[in-house]
């Protein structure tokens, strides 16, 4: 199945003015392979650099007046179509451009060679764009900040402690059975619903639904099980109202974040602006929900003290990331609360939405679906019920997630502030400039991927034979390096395990294979959730 073609004409690597890049002639002196680092005014590690490095001011731009640009964004509703705006702008201006919106200025890039150069200059303490609305909320409510909002040595110290509980292989081995349990329960719930609501011919039961509400409940149930070590019963016939309010609060927080990025939050606070009030109220509810769960976790851990149990367990049961952090005591309770809350807030929509896209793409690509299913069946049979072995034997599952996130990345950019001057596309980029790797246009570009609009999970297995660096900078949905998404291992395994059990139990199809229209709140999601037909195998 192919998506609508949005990429332009393929360009050759030459810098001649008569060549075409993305359907437009490049400016004089532009070279699509130019990248390097400036040291003492000289270029190092340059690749195909033409003579006469160009200044920062010469980078193509979308308009010099940030406030006029911001007004245009508001009038034309571009915030919701920011991913498409970026794609169009690269098609018009080439592989690098500057943009100023309100108080925010950035340089936007999309080619892996440029992204590679950017990450080489990120330094020991990589920085990404500060989400000022989130930071302001923490400050006015006197909450500690988690690693998502920290920088420098303070960030690094906290991140190293969290890595031990959510990123290391030993940690993954501890929480994988919890995710597997929730994924199995989801499929049992779906089977029960199919028996009650399904219909079909000749006794074959099928169920066509919008699965997004169930996927949100799955993501929240799985996150709570891993982070707090407890189930919250979202698959029951009457899930708690409190949990539904939490999902609503996360969605409201994400929706109100983008417009607040370009305006001074404290000014809006003093003005009593409704947008800020909605944002702060959503965060207040998120913190309230997390506080109640953390208090229960603390009480469970306190009652288990004195027992001969391994670290992070109570009565022999794994107590989740929260229990591990509390028992080890390397982070203060306030910092544990801050980071657990951020993990919870960032762990629902960011897995539930990609799963919507995954079910849709598998449903409208039956040959791909069957290839993945066959591999999953064989691996599951050999794994003897071990979820880790089952995933290791089914690389197409991982490829499916990577392919979904290539076409529909949760976050459409990855940002860094280089610690030294660099050269991108033969333009000088001063140290401290906000540079955004725009991964939605990258994922759909013929300059980066062969047949980019074709859904093909096997492409990632083929890329393993390529240079690791070249392959790595084509898949950036979780970021890169020391500052990559701290919840990456939870999210990857959560999504793979659910798809695995769905494919073992159901055949997927879609009532309509038309391409999905997408929109950006703070994350990329479908304008209308796709309907999926589940048929029992």
Tokens at 173, concatenated:
């081995």
Residue 492 CB neighbours (<10 A): 21
Over residues 95-105, the pLDDT tens digits come to 999 999 988 99
Inform me whether the pLDDT recorded for 169 exceeds 70: yes
pLDDT at 258: 87
Q: What single DSSP character describes residue 61?
A: B
Cα 19 to its chain centre, rounded Å, is: 35
Structure confidence at residue 307 (pLDDT) = 55
Please report which helix (H) or strand (E) contains residue 151, including its range: none
How many helices (DSSP H) and strands (DSSP E) are in the chain? 20, 15
Percent of the chain with pLDDT over 90: 70
**How would residue 302 be classed by pLDDT, with cut points 50, 70 and 90?**
confident
Which residues belong to the annotated binding site?
485
348 pLDDT above the threshold of 60: yes
Report CA 535 to chain centroid distance, whole Å: 29
- Distance of CA 525 to CAs 72, 275, 411, 479, 528, Å? 23, 21, 10, 18, 8
Summarised one tens digit per residue, pLDDT across range 389-406 is 999 999 999 999 999 999
Is pLDDT above 80 for 254?
A: yes
Give the 3-state secondary structure of residue 507.
strand
Q: Cβ–Cβ contacts within 10 Å for residue 475, how many?
A: 20
Q: Which residues are annotated as a binding site for heme?
A: 485
* Position 354 pLDDT exceeds 80: yes
> Is residue 23's pLDDT more than 50?
no
432: alpha, beta or left, given left = phi > 0 and alpha = psi -120 to 50? left
Q: Is the pLDDT of residue 50 over 60?
A: no
Query: Residue 464 pLDDT more than 70?
Result: no
Checking if the pLDDT of 7 tops 50, the result is no
Using the predicted structure, report yes or no on whether residue 364 has a pLDDT greater than 90.
yes
In this predicted model, what pLDDT tens digit does every residue of 501-515 receive, in sequence order?
Answer: 999 999 999 999 999
Structure tokens at 369: 């679906």
Domain ranges within the chain, ordered by starting residue: 66-303+317-536
- Three-state SS across 155-166? HHHHHHHHHHHH
Higher-confidence residue of 22 and 230: namely 230
Contact 529, 210 (CB under 8 A): yes
What pLDDT score does 235 carry?
87
What is the value of pTM for the model shown?
A: 0.87
Q: Which residue has the higher pLDDT, 297 or 75?
A: 75
Radius of gyration of the chain measured on its C-alpha atoms: 24
DSSP conformation class of 484? S
Mean pLDDT (the chain) is 87
Would you say residue 13 has pLDDT above 80? no
Q: What digits encode the pLDDT tens for the residues 174-208?
A: 999 999 999 999 999 999 999 888 877 655 789 99
Report the alpha-carbon distance of residue 287 to residue 138 in Å, rounded: 10
Task: Give the model's confidence band at 299: pLDDT under 50 very low, under 70 low, under 90 confident, else very high.
Answer: confident
Most confident of 28-37, 295-304, 316-325, 380-389: 380-389
State mean pLDDT over 406-430.
96
Confidence (pLDDT) at 2 = 36
Tokens 């939050």 identify what position?
265
For residue 462, name the pLDDT band (cuts at 50, 70, 90): confident
> Which segments of 365-453 does DSSP mark as H helices, in order?
366-383, 387-392, 395-407, 439-443
The more confident residue out of 17 and 49 is 49
Give me the mean pLDDT over the 295-314 stretch.
66
66-303+317-536: CATH topology is Cytochrome p450 (1.10.630)
State residue 38's pLDDT score: 54
| Region of poorest pLDDT, from 2-11, 350-359, 395-404 | 2-11
pLDDT score of 308 more than 60:
no
H/E stretch holding 6: none
pLDDT at 214 over 80: yes
């Amino acid at each position: 199945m192919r998506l609508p073609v949005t990429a332009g004409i393929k360009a050759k690597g030459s810098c001649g003015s008569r060549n075409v890049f993305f359907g437009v002639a490049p400016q004089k002196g532009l070279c699509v392979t130019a990248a390097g680092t400036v040291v003492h005014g000289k270029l190092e590690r340059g690749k195909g650099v033409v003579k006469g490095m160009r200044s920062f001011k010469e980078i193509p731009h979308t308009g010099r007046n940030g406030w006029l640009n911001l007004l245009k964004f508001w009038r034309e509703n571009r915030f919701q179509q920011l991913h498409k705006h970026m794609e169009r702008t690269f098609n018009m201006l080439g592989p690098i451009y500057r943009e100023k919106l309100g108080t925010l200025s950035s340089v936007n890039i999309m080619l892996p060679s440029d992204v590679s150069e950017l990450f080489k200059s990120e330094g020991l303490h990589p920085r990404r764009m500060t989400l000022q609305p989130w930071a302001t909320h923490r400050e006015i409510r006197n909450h500690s900040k988690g690693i998502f909002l920290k920088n420098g040595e303070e960030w690094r110290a906290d991140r190293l402690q969290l890595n031990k509980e959510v990123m290391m292989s030993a940690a993954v081995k501890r929480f994988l059975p919890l995710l597997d349990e929730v994924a199995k329960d989801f499929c049992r719930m779906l089977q029960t619903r199919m028996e009650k609501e399904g219909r079909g011919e000749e006794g074959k039961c099928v169920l066509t639904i919008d699965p997004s509400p169930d996927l949100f409940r799955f993501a929240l149930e799985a996150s709570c099980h891993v982070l707090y070590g407890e189930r919250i019963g979202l698959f029951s016939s009457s899930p708690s109202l409190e949990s539904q309010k939490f999902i609503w609060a996360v969605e409201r927080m994400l929706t109100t974040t983008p417009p607040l990025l370009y305006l001074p939050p404290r000014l809006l606070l003093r003005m009593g602006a409704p947008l800020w009030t909605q944002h702060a109220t959503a965060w207040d509810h998120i913190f309230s929900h997390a506080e109640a769960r953390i208090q229960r976790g603390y009480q469970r851990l306190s009652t288990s003290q004195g027992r001969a149990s391994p670290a992070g367990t109570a009565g022999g049961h794994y107590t989740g990331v929260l229990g591990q952090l509390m028992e080890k005591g390397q982070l203060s309770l306030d910092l544990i609360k801050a980071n657990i809350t951020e993990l919870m807030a960032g762990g629902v929509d960011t897995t539930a939405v990609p799963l919507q896209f995954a079910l849709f793409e598998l449903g409208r690509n039956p040959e791909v679906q069957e290839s993945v299913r066959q591999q999953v069946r064989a691996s599951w049979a050999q794994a003897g019920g071990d979820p880790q072995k089952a995933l290791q034997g089914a690389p197409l599952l991982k490829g499916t997630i990577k392919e979904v996130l290539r076409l529909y990345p949760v976050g459409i950019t990855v940002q860094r502030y280089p610690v030294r001057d660099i050269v991108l596309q033969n333009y000088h980029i001063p140290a401290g400039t906000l540079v955004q790797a725009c991964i939605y246009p990258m994922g759909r570009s013929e300059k980066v991927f062969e047949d980019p609009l074709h859904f093909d999970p096997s492409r990632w297995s083929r890329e393993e034979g390529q240079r690791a660096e070249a392959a790595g900078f084509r898949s950036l949905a979780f970021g890169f390096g020391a500052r990559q998404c701290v919840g990456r291992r939870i999210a990857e395994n959560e999504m793979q395990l659910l798809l695995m059990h769905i494919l073992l139990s159901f055949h997927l199809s879609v009532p309509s294979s038309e391409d999905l229209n997408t929109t950006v709140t703070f994350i990329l999601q479908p304008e209308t959730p796709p309907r999926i037909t589940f048929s029992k195998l």
